[in-house]
């Protein structure tokens, strides 16, 4: 219950600043442009596709590429919203309010996490409306679309957990943002190493944020991928809890 | 009458041998004290004496390295959630979200302290009235003055009706009128509770507190009741002379231990507790043209200077 109170406060505070609105507008604007280009391409290709057996449908050719770009943009935006989560509270001293209240530290961390997650889920919902609008004139593969939405949500969840942990490490939001961006991009691109290095880099490939996301884009729902994102989120949430405990112990 | 007596003697906070290090420096070193209901306990000490650290540990924001803190009979370290319910804390910098309105901030704080939705609304309405925040309840905190920040901070600390209030420098940075209002508010709130506050203003502690403790380099160096202080016998005389004799002459007066020259013909004669040389001075009054003769009690300032400064010189 108290988790929800903290989550709602966090979510409301986001919308009280122009930052969240600007972010939503920019994401929607950029992706709308990408979406229109993709629909245009699809219309040009339609004639050739009609002659193919087992041809890729509109979900593969419009929705999947759109979600690939959306993942990139969200990865760039996550640091902007997570950077202030704890660093700002430490800087302005509001963390003392939370720590001196009878709320346990895991509840504080979870509340803040859910607040930011709710913001990104609303952004993802807005993005999903674009391919959904094609249902007016085409047949969508709803199963595939759901897999893509789930993949993007899980990716956002993991990225937020990482950003939140890094914001507990410093009192300077900008430092947290840069660190988060660096770590997210590194995790995203880590499978490049496995592509070029060959053997011994399977592990690196497994760690990649991108590789697990790709299978969702193909419409595959693999419990390994689900577990990967959930474990990643859980790991960084626990790290954040430990870090806050440490702040209380070490000062 | 008997019931009242028990109420007054009720122990709200019991701190035993509290210690805390930052790295290698011992910031708080073996601090023990007790707070009763109805007391306003003032913490005095120079900057860096460990006042804030002690209060932070008391509020559960910082974990002590050693020692025990009991709040209302509950161990703060063993059962933090339960102990923190009877505790209200205002840090040095009031923990406020600039983007929220006063109403939203207070409501959030009430919910954090475990009040239900309806109870929170009632508590917020009640405390706004008590702290004079009704007119600004819909204003953004970021747009309010420092005095209002402090008031919202105090309102937030007492919102959930805690029995212990911990205030870290509640009047720092306020103008004299605002400080007076805040002091009045604290006095009012202390009636049925226990208050611990820190300050670097001696006059404020003297005006507001019932008890005082002085800290120096992490240790308690003085603890006493302010009423005790006021009742003490004079230990020095302040005199003003238009034609002062040589200093040595004053020092030779029977009973005088030490003479401080204060300039402008004023002197402070330190004497043994029951041997004030008042009579001798009056006999000499016409020769020296005595203009002022004031017995001085041991004031908080003297104790402070004695304990803090003289120890530093050593």
Residue bearing tokens 């961006």 = A181
- Residue A172's pLDDT is 93
- What is the number of residues in chain B? 314
Q: Where are the beta strands (DSSP E) in B226-313?
A: 236-241, 256-263, 266-271, 290-296
CB contact under 8 A, A97 and B156: yes
The residue among B285 and A150 whose pLDDT is bigger is A150
Reference B298, options B241, B213, B232, B246; nearest CA is B232
CB contact under 8 A, B108 and A5: yes
In A, which residues are within 8 Å of B53 by CB distance? Answer: 251
CA–CA dist B68, B48 (Å, integer): 22
CB contact under 8 A, A97 and B82: no
d(CA A122, nearest CA chain B) in Å:
22
B173 interfaces chain A, CB cutoff of 8 Å: no
Q: Over range B255-261, report the average pLDDT.
A: 81
d(CA B114, nearest CA chain A) in Å:
7
C-alpha angle with apex B156: B151 to B162, nearest 5 degrees?
Answer: 120
B142 interfaces chain A, CB cutoff of 8 Å: no
Reference A202, options A215, A186, A191; nearest CA is A191
d(CA A77, nearest CA chain B) in Å:
21
d(CA B111, nearest CA chain A) in Å:
7
A with B: how many residue pairs have Cβ under 8 Å apart? 72
Q: For residue B169, give the DSSP letter.
A: S
- Residue B222's pLDDT is 82
pLDDT of B4 over the 50 cut: no
Q: For residue B214, give the DSSP letter.
A: E
CB contact under 8 A, B94 and A103: no
Show the domain range for A148.
2-250
Reference B157, options A100, A108, A111, A92; nearest CA is A100
CA–CA dist B69, B197 (Å, integer): 17
- For the domain B233-296, what is the CATH code? 3.30.70.100
- Residue A233's pLDDT is 96
CB contact under 8 A, A6 and B112: yes
CB contact under 8 A, A251 and B62: yes
d(CA B194, nearest CA chain A) in Å:
17
Given strand B87-90, what is the order of strands in its sheet? B87-90, B164-168, B194-198, B40-44, B211-216, B219-225
Q: Where are the domains of chain B?
A: 2-230, 233-296
In chain A, pLDDT over 90 holds for what percent of residues?
63
- Residue A196's pLDDT is 63
Q: Over range B275-283, report the average pLDDT.
A: 79
CA–CA dist B80, A68 (Å, integer): 46
- Residue B232's pLDDT is 57
Residue bearing tokens 């193919």 = A52
Nearest-CA residue of chain A relative to B104? A9
Question: For chain A, which residues score pLDDT lower than 70?
Answer: 193-201, 251
- For strand B256-263 and strand B211-216, is the pairing parallel, antiparallel, or unpaired? unpaired
B95 interfaces chain A, CB cutoff of 8 Å: yes
Number of separate domains in chain A: 1
CB contact under 8 A, B87 and A16: no
- Residue B2's pLDDT is 42
A123: Cβ–Cβ under 8 A, 6 or more apart, which residues? A23, A24, A27, A74
CB contact under 8 A, B100 and A100: no
- What CA–CA distances, in Å, run from B176 to B171, B181, B246, B256? 9, 9, 42, 39
- For the domain B2-230, what is the CATH code? 3.40.50.300
**A102-116, B126-140, B234-248: least confident range:** B234-248
B108 interfaces chain A, CB cutoff of 8 Å: yes
pLDDT of B310 over the 70 cut: no
Instruction: List for chain B the helix, strand, coil content (%; round to 5).
Output: 40, 30, 30
- What CA–CA distances, in Å, run from A212 to A162, A223, A236? 17, 10, 18
CB contact under 8 A, A101 and B94: no
In chain B, pLDDT over 90 holds for what percent of residues?
37
Confidence of residue B72 (pLDDT cuts 50, 70, 90): confident
Q: Over range B172-185, report the average pLDDT.
A: 85
pTM of this structure: 0.84
CA–CA dist A106, A109 (Å, integer): 5
pLDDT in tens, B82-99: 999 999 999 989 999 998
Which of B82, B96, B114 comes nearest A94 by C-beta? B96
A240: Cβ–Cβ under 8 A, 6 or more apart, which residues? A86, A109, A161, A164, A165, A168
B127 interfaces chain A, CB cutoff of 8 Å: no
CB contact under 8 A, B108 and A9: yes
Q: Over range B198-202, report the average pLDDT.
A: 84
């Amino acid at each position: 219950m108290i988790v929800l109170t903290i989550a709602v406060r966090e979510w409301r505070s986001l919308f009280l600043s122009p930052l969240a609105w600007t972010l939503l507008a920019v994401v929607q604007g950029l992706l709308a442009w990408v979406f229109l280009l993709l629909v245009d391409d699809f219309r040009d290709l339609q004639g050739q596709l009609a002659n193919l057996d087992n041809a890729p449908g509109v979900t593969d050719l419009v929705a999947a590429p759109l979600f690939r770009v959306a993942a990139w943009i969200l990865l760039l935006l996550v640091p902007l919203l997570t950077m202030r989560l704890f660093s700002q509270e430490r800087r302005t001293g509001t963390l003392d309010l939370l720590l001196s209240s009878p709320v346990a530290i895991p509840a504080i961390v979870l509340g803040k996490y859910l607040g930011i997650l709710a913001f990104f889920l609303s952004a993802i919902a807005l993005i999903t409306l674009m391919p959904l609008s094609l249902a007016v004139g085409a047949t969508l593969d709803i199963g595939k679309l759901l897999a893509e939405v789930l993949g993007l949500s899980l990716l956002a969840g993991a990225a937020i957990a990482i950003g939140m942990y890094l914001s507990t490490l410093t009192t300077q939001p900008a430092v947290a943002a840069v660190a988060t961006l660096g770590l997210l991009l590194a995790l995203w691109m880590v499978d490049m190493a496995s592509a070029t290095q060959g053997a011994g880099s399977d592990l690196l490939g497994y760690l990649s944020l991108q590789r697990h996301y790709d299978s969702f884009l193909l419409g595959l729902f693999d419990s390994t991928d689900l577990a990967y994102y959930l474990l990643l989120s859980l790991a960084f949430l626990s790290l954040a809890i430990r870090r806050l405990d440490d702040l209380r112990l070490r000062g | 009458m008997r019931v009242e007596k028990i109420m007054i003697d009720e122990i709200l906070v019991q701190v035993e041998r509290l210690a805390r290090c930052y790295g290698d420096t011992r910031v708080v070193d073996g601090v023990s004290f007790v707070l009763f209901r109805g007391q306003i306990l003032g913490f005095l000490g120079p900057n860096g004496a460990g006042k804030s650290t002690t209060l932070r540990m008391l509020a559960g924001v910082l974990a002590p390295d050693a020692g025990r803190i009991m709040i209302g009979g509950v161990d703060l370290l063993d059962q933090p959630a339960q102990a923190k319910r009877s505790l209200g804390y205002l840090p040095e910098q009031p923990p406020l979200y600039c983007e929220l309105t006063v109403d939203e901030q207070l409501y959030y704080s009430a919910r954090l302290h475990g009040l239900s939705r309806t109870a929170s609304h009632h508590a917020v309405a009640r405390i706004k009235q008590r702290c004079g925040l009704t007119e600004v309840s819909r204003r953004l905190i970021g747009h309010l003055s420092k005095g209002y920040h402090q008031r919202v901070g105090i309102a937030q600390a007492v919102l959930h009706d805690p029995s212990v209030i911990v205030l870290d420098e509640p009047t720092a940075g306020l103008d004299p009128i605002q400080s007076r209002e805040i002091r009045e508010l604290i006095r009012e709130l202390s009636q049925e509770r226990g208050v611990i506050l820190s300050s670097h203003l001696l006059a404020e502690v003297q005006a507001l507190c019932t008890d005082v403790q002085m800290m120096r380099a992490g240790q308690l160096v003085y603890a006493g009741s302010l009423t005790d202080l006021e009742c003490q016998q004079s230990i020095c005389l302040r005199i003003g002379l238009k034609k002062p004799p040589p200093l040595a002459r004053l020092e030779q007066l029977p009973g005088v231990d030490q003479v401080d020259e204060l300039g402008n013909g004023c002197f402070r004669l330190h004497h043994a507790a029951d041997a004030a040389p008042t009579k001798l001075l009056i006999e000499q009054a016409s020769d020296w043209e005595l203009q002022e003769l004031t017995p001085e009690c041991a004031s908080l300032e003297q104790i402070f200077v004695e304990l803090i400064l003289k120890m530093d010189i050593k």
